[in-house]
Each structure stands twice: as C-alpha cells, then as structure tokens.
Structure 1
Amino acid sequence: MTAGPLTSEPVAAPVAAQAERQKLRKHFGRFDILFFLLCTIVGVDTIGAVASSGAEAFTWLIVLAVVFLVPSALLIAELGAAFPDEGGPYIWTSRAFGRLAGAVNNFLYWITNPVWLGGTLAVSAVTAYTTFFNGGKDLNTPAFYFFTLLFVWSGVLAAILSFDIGKWIPTLGAWSRFLLLGLFTVTVVAYGIQHGLHGFGIGDFSPTYAGFVGLVPVLMFNYVGFELPNTAGDEMTNPQRDVPYGIFRGAVLSVLLYALPILGILLVLPVRAITGLGGFVDAIRQVFTVYGGHVGADGTTTLSGFGTVLGDLAGIMFILTVLSSGVTWIMGSDRALAVSGYDGAAPRFLGVISSRFGTPVRVNVLSGLVSTGVLVLAHQLTHGSAAKLFGAVLGLAVSTTLVSYLGIFPALPFLRRKYPDTPRPYRAPLPWTISVVLTLLIVFAGVQLVAPGAGDHWFGAGYAPDGWTRAERGKYLLTELVPLVGFMLLGVLFWALGRPTRAAAGGK
C-alpha cells in the first residue's frame, strides 16, 4: 500500500491489486478535489425537500452543520491524508474490521448511487426541463425515457472517460452551483425589495423533535461525502497536503451553498407551496420575475423578456448541477467497488481498471444498467408520477447511503490503534468521541427512516411520511427494511465471490 504499513489485513496485497493499480493515472490536484467535493456534498435536488419543512429546517441545517458536518470533516481529513489508497472508504473499513465488513459496507456505498442517478437526479432534471423549456407540461412516456436515459448514460460516459477529461464535469458542476445559487440569492434580495417577502416569525425557527426526525436523515444525506475524493486516492498528486485543504474549504462553502438558497426559498414561498421535487425550481421562477414576468393571482408564474433568458440559463445550470452530482458519486463509488474486486471482497471480474482510460469501465457500465433498471421500474410502479418516483427513490437512497457510514465513521480509532506508526499529516481531535457521536447520529437516522417517530409516536400524525397512514406502518417498515437487508446479503455474496482472489494472496 502507498500510505503506511497497511499489511495486517490482508498480509499482502493480491497480485491482482498490484497489476490493476499500475493502470491508474495521477490527474487529481488540489482544486480538482475541492470542486469534486462541492459537487459531492452540495446537491440541489434535495433543497426543496429540506425547505418544505419550514423555517425550522434552517435551524436544524445549522445545528447539524456543527454536530455532524464539522466532526465528519475532521475525521475524514485524517483518514484521507493518512491512508490515501485507491478505494478510500472501502480500504479504511476493510483494514479496520476485515474484508467481510468492507464488502458489505462497500456494496451499500456503491448501490445507492446508480439508484440515486436513475431515480432522484433524473427526475429532478426532467422537472427542471419541463418547468423552464416545456411550459410546465409533463413529457409523454417516450420523451420521458429519451430524456432520462440520455441523462443517465451521459453521466456514465463521463465516468468512463479518463480522469483528466471526466473531471471537467465536476469542475463545471461546481461553477454552475456558484452561479445558480449565487444568482438566486441575489435575486431573492431584489425580489424582496420589489414585492416584499413571505416572512415568518422568530418562533418558526424553534426546533421540534418531529422536525428533527423528519429532517435529520435528508440533512445528513446532504452533508456526507467528504471521503469520496479518496476513492481515487492513487490518482491524487499530493493527497497528504490536498485532502485536508479540500475538505475544510469544502465544508465552509457547502454550508453557505445550502443555507442561503434554503433561506431564500422560505422568504419567497409559503411553506404550503413548497414541494420536495419542485420547490427550488418554483422559487427560481418566481424570483426571476423581477427581470421580466409576473406571478398570477392563482400563484402561476410567467416569465418574459430577460426573465425568460435568465430562467432558461438557470434551467441549464440546474440540470448540469444535478448531472455533476451523479457523475462525481458514480466516479467515486465505482472506483471503490472496483478496488474491492481486485482486493478480494467482490467478484474479480469487476476489479478491472481499463488500460485505455484508467477507469473501472466494467463497474461504470454496471452502474448504468442498474440506473436504467431503477428508472424504468420506478416509473412503472409510480404510474409515471414524478413526485411519487422522486420520494420513493430518495428514501431508498438516503437509507442505503447513511447505513454505509456505520463502517466508515468507527474506523478512525481502530486504524489509529492498528497502525500507530503510519504518518498522519493531520490528526483529528478526540477520535473516539467524534466516531461515537457520528455513529450514534447515523444509527438514529437509520431507525427513523425505517420507523418514523420511533421513541415517541411511531408513525403518528406528526411522523408518518406523506401518503401513508398509521395502519400501513408495517408495510412501510418492510418497504424500507427489505431493500436494506437484500443489499447487505448481496454484499456478503460479493465477498464470497471474491474468495479466489483472497486465496491467491493468502487472505481470508
């Protein structure tokens, strides 16, 4: 391994790992890491879902920035600089707890991203397209599939391309975030001066347990991802220096890029008018009427003149932003799965790095196929309802993502104990405290995802997800638990299929 004596598990790196790692190319510099992180953490697809909880959402956004985002940034900064091996979170988990734990954790870490790309992100892109370029009218089924499949496979193609080319998608995505969210924030101020703001009282910011239960999973989902650049650890030019640099600056920018637009939406739209799917897009259209257009008595927004021009530009930037979110996560999680393939925790067939591109093309194609399958299946099950499709896939993506951190966050103190002599350019303070706090928050969020309101009034009126009744809580529990358990079992299967690779290296 490249960073310190990571030799106790496995005793020696498989021959396959040594061969595949020689195909990797170093193209990942300091600012690439920063832009990659911004695309990883700042996702505009969930801004509406957070804002729909009202002013209380802003309170919990700031609270979780302090108690979750900052500690996770500190933890990942140490792991990423001390153990900058390709595969990042898979390497940390498997070396701390063994390959079986690494295999299960890594499968969860990977599978959520093609699910997210083919569901939540694709539908968000469609919503932006129909809102800004199709007069708000839904696409017919053939047009829907044409647009979404083009979206999905454009992302897969970007992940397949060599990193010196593919990394420009995250770079463009980061600048799109700056422009889109910055322009929106400035326009909210202009809109407030011209029309007045919706407004809310100071009491609306008061936190409640019900609000925490509803918001903590999606806010934590927004705030994870600092480790993703380390999935390309062997492609970094100077990870010991650049990883902490990117993480700490990315943390500050991420909070600002979430807080300002969410506050702007709450100022512009009444809470009852904010939806999880279209809340941010609707707010953009409404405030852009200051450049040309008007809001009708029934709330319908019509853009004209320069407002239409800026609206179209915002639509393009929104689509590029959600695409870049998917591309960065696919780039990273696919690399982690490929590493587990050549390390003996997944089928060897998947652990192949392309000699031509220096990327895991086989896993990239597999991600595209999974995304396509999710897109088609979810569209059929929800009878073409974009809002239902968005909500269903978002819940699954959040739960599988967060559970995967049950292997990542506890790894810090165990790796310190197992590899005390590994150079650590940065050392996180209070490693046990940070790991325990983060892990407990993940456990709490996971419980609330499968049993909303547990500990107070499970599936009570203030906790049941939209569209569900208390009588259906058992059914809802199964819809959340069955996929999670199934994914974990597939992780075990992947570990079993990796046995020949482990045996060749003398590992277990």
Structure 2
Amino acid sequence: MAGTKRFSLLDAILNMICVVFVAEAAAPAAAIGNSQYFWWLMLIITFLLPYGMIVSELGSTYPDDEGGVYDWVKRAFGKRVAGFVAWSYWVNFPLWMASLALVFPDTIGTLMGIQLGSVPSLAIELAFIWTVVFVSFSKASDAAWLVNVGAVLKVGIAIVLGVLGFMYMSQHGNANAGDISTYLPNLADTSSLTYLSIILFNFMGFEVLATYTDEMDEPQRQIPQAIVYAGAAIAVVYLVSAFGIGVAIPVADLTVDSGISDALSVMVGTASPIFVVVSVVFLLTLIGNMVSWSLGVNTVAAKSAEDHNLPGFMGHKDPKTGMPNGASLTNGVVASILCAVSVFTGFDFWVLFAAQIVFLLLAYVPMFPAFLSLRASDPDTRRPFKVPGKGAVLKVITYLPVALLILSVIATCVPLSGEEVADKLPILALTIVLLAAGVSLMVVLNRQDPRPGDIVE
C-alpha cells in the first residue's frame, strides 16, 4: 500500500543491535573477571555462530511464521511442546521488565544524590513499566525510530566505556590485573560460572526479527543479512563494554545491577557531565530495549493464546493496528505486581533478572532440535539461506548450543556449592513456582481445546 512504512534492512540491523545488545547485562558478565574474555570468544564460536545460522535458515525459510521460535517448534513437534516454549518465552519478559524497573530508582537516586524511599521508588518503577506497555501498542515500523535511537545510544555507551577504560588503564593500570592464568577459565569457581548464562543471554534475540516479516519487503534476504551484520557488530560492542567495566572495578567490588555506574564513577567521578549523560542515556536504552523485545514476545504470546496454551485474553489484538495489546497489558500487570511484591519479599534485581534468564534460555532449547527435524521432514522447501554441513557436523552445530543452554540454566539457579545456597535458593524457588504455574495453566487450557496438538503439516 502506498505510503505504508516498511521495515528496511537498516531498521532490521539496528533493531537487532537494540534487541541483542543488553547494556545492563555487561556488568554481570564482567563479574566473571579476566576469564570473561575467554568465555566471550569461546561462546561466540560455539553458540553465537550456530545460533545465528540456524535462526537465519528458519527465518528465511518460513518468513510467514510471525511467531518465530514458537511457530518453528510447533511445525516440528506440535503445539504442546510449542506451549512450553511460549510460556517460557513470555514469562521471561515481565520478569525482565520488573528487574529493569528496579534499576531506575537507584540510578535516579544516585544522579540526584539522595536515597529514594519505597513509595517514590515504586512510582518510578511503575512509570517505566507502563511507558513500555503503551509504546509497545505501536507497530514495529511506526516505533522503528525509537528502537533505532536505542541501538545508537547503546553503541555509544559501549564506545564511551571502552575509551574511558583505555584511558583509565593507561593512567592507573588494570583493576583486575593478573598473570596469564587469570585469563583462563577456573572451572572450580562455581560462582563465576553462574554468570556464563549472562553471556549466552547477551546473544539472544535474533529470532525476534522473524516477527517483523509482514512489514519487510524481502524477508528471505533481509533476515540473514541483518543477522550477519548485526551479529558482528554486537560481538565487538560487547567486548568493548566488558573491557571498560573490567579494567575499572575489581571483581570483588562489582555489583551486578549498577556495574556501569560504578565503573563510570571510578573513571570520571559522579559529578562529571559524562557520568550524568551516560547514566541518563543508559536509562533511555532500557526503554528501547524493552520496546524492541515486546513485539516478538507479545506475538508469540498471542499465537499461543490462539492455540489454547495461554489465556485467551492474551490473544486480543487491536482491530485497527493488529497489535497484540492483550499480551502487552498482561506484561504490564504482572511486572507491576512483581515490583510491588519485591518491596516485601526482598526480591532484588538479580533474583528477577536471573529467573528471567533461566526462562529465556529454556525457551530456546527445543528450537535447535526443531531445526534439525524440519530440515529432515521438509527437505523440498526452498531455503534462501542454509546452514552448512550435514550428518555429524550438522548435529554438532545443533546440539552443542543445547548443551550450553542446559548447563547455563543449571549454573544460574541450582546451588553448586554450600556458599551459593543463600543466593540461588530464591532464584530456584521462583523458577520452580513459575514452571509449575505454566504447566498447570497449559493442562487446564488444553482440556478446553478440542483440537489435537498435531504437528503442523
């Protein structure tokens, strides 16, 4: 239709940067210490490359699957397995939104030089949540400017951190200096292994692009191109930002929810205009990040609601825009409740953020074998992009990421030593409760659904 906004290749690349590069996750990754650089490079090779290639093939082969990972798993294994994906994929979002909401009052309080009370903090958290909800009512092409600005601002933060890191190190040395052995992984240090899930989480989100196919002119070509270009840029940006934080703050003093502010305060001081500007920009990028993820998550939730895997009200779409506003409103309500409950339960940023990571990683586990299943069961469909390799090579490309996902989930929520019990028990408890809730909900809803959970033909 003439005059209709379209989602260009540049929009797609910037959207991927905004979705996949998560500024708030740079600090937990830096908490690994000097060995983070080893893990970044190793996981880029063993996870990011296979994941990017598989999503490129699935997204370009099935461009009409607006539900992305949900539709791909449904094609391969039916709607019951896809229901698990939908629940995990959806529930991560309000957890994530609530965790980021908790960052806002602390950052604003630091900028103002005051300690905000519970009521003002909750008001700020709710303002953040519902700003994201209302912006997410807009179509991706209409909100592309916000996402594009968010991507540029995120890259700007990373560059500033990297440049300041080099300047700081040249004058004061590396806060985490050590011999070559400190740059190698210490598998006996289970507490640092917990943060490996952060690096995997930092790579997630390429499949969100598949939810924009109806607004692209050539999705078969644009999806692989955007993933390749954005993936290369994101890998560099992450390494630069991780370096900037790592050289300024000793690992023992690094806090996972305010690592960027901590690093900046050491390098330039809290009174510096650089500190103020970057802190404000950081808060703005959190809004852009949530908006860029919202369409993918809400589309999956709406499709799952149509299949009776999620409540019907989550499938409501605006009659004018076609946007899944029911899922978006549900996100806002759940995230608001989590923030209110955190006042009494003591759930902090890390508990909600870690639980969110667990569910997001779990949502991807069935996607990889679904790719292999569709390659075998649907060989005649044209594949504009095809993952290279066959036989054993293709199985390694498929199942190595699955093993990494499962190990990361375990390392995040299961205490691997006595010292971790106090920190991980709340995460494990929240994970178990939400998993039980998801399974119970699907059992009840599927009893009301007369359609079988057949594999899509």
Confirm or deny that 1:128 pairs with 2:92. Answer: no
Q: 1:17 — aligned with what?
A: none
Give 1:49's aligned amino acid: P
Give 1:244's aligned amino acid: P
Q: 2:399 — aligned with what?
A: 436
Q: Is the 8 A contact 2:147 2:288 kept in 1?
A: yes
Instruction: Give the 5 Å matches for 1:307-386.
Output: 307-308=272-273, 310-343=274-307, 345-382=309-346
Q: 1:160 — aligned with what?
A: 137
Question: 105, 125, 128: which is aligned to 2:85?
Answer: 105
Q: Using the TM superposition, give the Cα deviation of residue 311 of structure 1 relative to its aligned residue in structure 2, in angstroms.
A: 2.1
> Alpha carbon RMSD of aligned pairs, Å?
2.5
Q: 1:44 — aligned with what?
A: 23
Q: 2:436 — aligned with what?
A: 485
Q: 1:95 — aligned with what?
A: 75
Confirm or deny that 1:426 pairs with 2:388. Answer: no
1:208-258 deviation line (CA, Å, top 9, x unaligned):
113563232222111121111112332332210011111111211111111
Question: Which ranges in structure 2 are unaligned for 5 or more consecutive residues?
Answer: none
Q: Which shows bigger deviation, 234-243 or 66-75?
A: 234-243
Give 1:32's aligned amino acid: D
Question: 43, 51, 73: which is aligned to 1:64?
Answer: 43
1:313-350 deviation line (CA, Å, top 9, x unaligned):
11121001122221222221001111223355444443
Q: Using the TM superposition, give the Cα deviation of residue 274 of structure 1 relative to its aligned residue in structure 2, in angstroms.
A: 1.0
Give 1:80's aligned amino acid: G
Q: 2:128 — aligned with what?
A: 151
Q: 1:406 — aligned with what?
A: 365
1:410-451 deviation line (CA, Å, top 9, x unaligned):
111111122212110000124332221111212222233342
Q: Is the 8 A contact 1:122 1:152 kept in 2?
A: yes
Q: Using the TM superposition, give the Cα deviation of residue 178 of structure 1 relative to its aligned residue in structure 2, in angstroms.
A: 1.5
Q: Which shows bigger deviation, 321-330 or 187-196?
A: 187-196
1:81-129 deviation line (CA, Å, top 9, x unaligned):
10122111111011100011111211110111011102x2112233322
Q: Is the 8 A contact 2:18 2:151 kept in 1?
A: yes
Q: Distance in 2 between matches of 1:506 and 1:398?
A: 28
Question: 401, 411, 415: which is aligned to 1:452?
Answer: 415
Q: Which shows bigger deviation, 316-325 or 349-358?
A: 349-358
**Paired residues, number:** 446
Q: Distance in 1 between matches of 2:455 and 2:383?
A: 29
1:348-384 deviation line (CA, Å, top 9, x unaligned):
44333323223111111111111111111123211xx
TM-score (norm. length: structure 1): 0.82
Q: Using the TM superposition, give the Cα deviation of residue 460 of structure 1 relative to its aligned residue in structure 2, in angstroms.
A: 3.8
SS in 2 for 1:139: coil
SS in 1 for 2:36: helix
Q: Distance in 1 between matches of 2:252 and 2:279?
A: 23
Q: Percent identity at matched positions? A: 26
Q: Distance in 2 between matches of 1:196 and 1:349?
A: 56
Q: Distance in 1 between matches of 2:247 and 2:157?
A: 17
Confirm or deny that 1:396 pairs with 2:355. Answer: yes
Structure 2 CA distance for partners of 1:496 and 1:213, relative to 1, 3 Å: farther
Give 2:299's aligned amino acid: R
Give 1:435's aligned amino acid: T
Q: Which shows bigger deviation, 139-148 or 476-485?
A: 476-485
**Which structure would you say has the larger Rg?**
1
Q: Distance in 2 between matches of 1:82 and 1:200?
A: 47
Q: Distance in 1 between matches of 2:10 and 2:232?
A: 15
Structure 2 CA distance for partners of 1:422 and 1:506, relative to 1, 3 Å: closer
Question: 226, 243, 267: which is aligned to 2:223?
Answer: 243
TM-score (norm. length: structure 2): 0.90
Question: Which ranges in structure 1 are unaligned for 5 or more consecutive residues?
Answer: 1-24, 290-300, 383-387, 454-458
1:446-498 deviation line (CA, Å, top 9, x unaligned):
23334233xxxxx244xx16646xxxx6x87544323223223334444445x
Q: Distance in 1 between matches of 2:222 and 2:200?
A: 24
Give 2:157's aligned amino acid: L
